[in-house]
Amino acid sequence: MNPQPRRADRARQIADALRRQVLDGDFTNGVLPDERLLGREFGATRNAVREALELLRADGLIERSPGVGTVVVARKYPHGLNRLMGLAETLHEHGVVTNEVRTSGVVAATGVLAERLGLPVGADIVCIERLRRLNDLPLSLDLTYLPADVGEPLLAEDLVNNDVFTLLERICGQPLGRAEVGMEAVNADPHVAAVLDLPRGGALLLVERLTHLADGRPVDLEFIRFRGDRLTMRAVLDR
């Protein structure tokens, strides 16, 4: 290598390779090889390996304890980006999604919400905030806005055990069509961190998604904050 990489760079390289194996469940019984073996595999010093493991520990992927060694604790789930799906649909292989409705009700659409939903400013819209859990562990905090004619019937449905997508298709009598999605990495503010049971400043994947019905009408504007340590977005792209 030219110039010689510093130890921190080397540690990150090792951590990137191990991260993949940790997330793929490659280690038998979830136990990583000891530092000496990892050092031999990566042609790295024990200090570099130790630093790499510390990076993975800080990301919440592994835990280290004397006697027990280094074990995988990550519970990170893949969320496909090649088809529009609700969370429970996406994660059905991984467990049960439940939703705690934190707030719900009718509000007046402000400028940007009205514009995105194709409604006049001041129109009634339904606002629903849900804390979503996978296997009882907090996964995301979702804020959803819907036009009143769609959102009001939705409020009468079982929002605890159903994806909004599934309910919308039933209420509207047509499938959903296309969604525009924006994704950013942000730090959790203290309040969101508390709700999602994350350390303050913990990394979140913030997803803004505007979903249309098959006929093109925008019906569902969501702001979704996923815990960064619990989800990987996956996509296949073509050149």
The interface with its own copies within residues 55-84 (CB under 8 A) comprises 55, 58-59, 76, 78, 81-84
Q: Which amino acid is at 151?
A: G
Q: How far apart are CA 233 and CA 184, in angstroms?
A: 12
Residues between 125 and 154 with contacts to its own copies, criterion CB under 8 A? 127, 129, 143
31 close to 65: Cβ distance less than 8 angstroms? no
| Token pair 């400013």 in the structure block, residue | 121
Q: Which is nearer to its own copies, 21 or 161 (CB)?
A: 21
- Alpha carbon 225 to its chain centroid, in Å, reads 7
Q: Which is nearer to its own copies, 68 or 104 (CB)?
A: 104
Residue 130 tokens, joined? 């849900």
- Indicate whether 237 belongs to the interface with its own copies (CB under 8 A): yes
Among 36, 92, 94, 191, binds its own copies (CB under 8 A): 191
- Indicate whether 107 belongs to the interface with its own copies (CB under 8 A): yes
Q: Report how many residues bind its own copies under the rule CB under 8 A.
A: 77
Query: Segment contacting its own copies (CB under 8 A): 62-70, 130-138, 156-164, 189-197?
Result: 189-197
Q: Which is nearer to its own copies, 68 or 185 (CB)?
A: 185
- Indicate whether 184 belongs to the interface with its own copies (CB under 8 A): yes
86 close to 166: Cβ distance less than 8 angstroms? yes
Task: Collect all residues with Cβ–Cβ distance below 8 Å to 19 and sequence separation of at least 6.
Answer: 56, 59, 61
Among 87, 146, 167, 231, binds its own copies (CB under 8 A): 231
Question: 60 phi and psi, to 5 degrees?
Answer: 80, 20
Q: How far apart are the first and last CA of the chain?
A: 31
Among 37, 73, 108, 160, binds its own copies (CB under 8 A): 108
64 close to 47: Cβ distance less than 8 angstroms? no
Q: Which is nearer to its own copies, 133 or 227 (CB)?
A: 227
Nearest one of 99, 60, 57, 16 to 230, comparing CA atoms: 60
| Token pair 């629903």 in the structure block, residue | 128
Q: How far apart are CA 236 and CA 239, in angstroms?
A: 10
- Indicate whether 28 belongs to the interface with its own copies (CB under 8 A): no
Q: Which is nearer to its own copies, 1 or 156 (CB)?
A: 1
- Indicate whether 226 belongs to the interface with its own copies (CB under 8 A): yes
Nearest distance, CB of residue 136 and its own copies, angstroms: 22
Q: Which is nearer to its own copies, 68 or 172 (CB)?
A: 172
Among 16, 34, 149, 215, binds its own copies (CB under 8 A): 16
